[in-house]
Amino acid sequence: MVRWDFDLAVIGAGSGGVRAARLAAEAGAKVALIERGRVGGTCVLRGCVPKKLLVIGAHFAEDLADMQGYGWNVGDATFDWARLIAAKNAELARLEGVYGRLLRDAGVTLIEGRANFTDRHSLDVGGRPVTAERIVVATGGRPLLPVIPGIEHAITSDQALDLLSLPKRLAIVGGGYIAVEFAGIFNALGVAVTQCLRGDTVLRGFDQDVRATLAEEMAAKGVGFRCETVVRSIEKGAGGTSLLLADGETLEVDLVLYATGRRPNSDGLGLERAGVAVDDRGAVVVDGFSRTSVDNIFAIGDVTGRMNLTPVALAEATALVDTLFRGRPRAMDYTDVPTAVFSLPPVATVGLGEAAARARGAVDVYLSRFRPMRHSLSGRREWTMMKMVVDSASDRVLGVHMVGADAPEIVQGFAVALKCGATKAQVDATIGIHPTAAEELVTLRDRVTDE
Read off the pLDDT of residues 409-442 as tens digits, 9 standing for 90 and up.
Answer: 999 999 999 999 999 999 999 999 999 999 999 9
Rounded to the nearest integer, the mean pLDDT of the chain is 96
- At residue 75 the predicted structure's pLDDT band, cuts being 50, 70 and 90, is confident
Q: Which of 47-51, 73-77, 312-316 has the lowest mean pLDDT?
A: 73-77
Same domain, residue pair 12 and 105: yes
How many Cα atoms occupy the beta-carbon half-sphere of 220 within 13 Å? Answer: 12
The per-residue pLDDT for range 278-321, each reduced to its tens digit, is: 999 999 999 999 999 999 999 999 999 999 999 999 999 999 99
Chain mean position to CA 263: 14
Q: What percent of the chain has pLDDT over 90?
A: 97
**pTM of the entire structure?**
0.96
- Please state the domain count of the chain: 3
Same domain, residue pair 286 and 249: no
The set of catalytic residues is: 434
Domain span including residue 228: 151-260
For 376, residues 6+ apart whose C-beta sits below 8 A from its C-beta are none
Same domain, residue pair 242 and 273: no
Task: Give the model's pLDDT for residue 29.
Answer: 98
CB 363 within 8 A of CB 391: yes
Is the pLDDT assigned to residue 2 strictly greater than 80?
Answer: no
Same domain, residue pair 35 and 171: no
Q: How far apart are CA 309 and CA 337, in angstroms?
A: 9
Average pLDDT over residues 64-91: 95
Same domain, residue pair 81 and 193: no
In a domain, 163, yes or no: yes
- At residue 153 the predicted structure's pLDDT band, cuts being 50, 70 and 90, is very high
Euclidean distance between the first and final Cα of the chain, in Å?
Answer: 70
In a domain, 335, yes or no: no
Task: Give the model's pLDDT for residue 384.
Answer: 98
In a domain, 331, yes or no: no
In a domain, 205, yes or no: yes
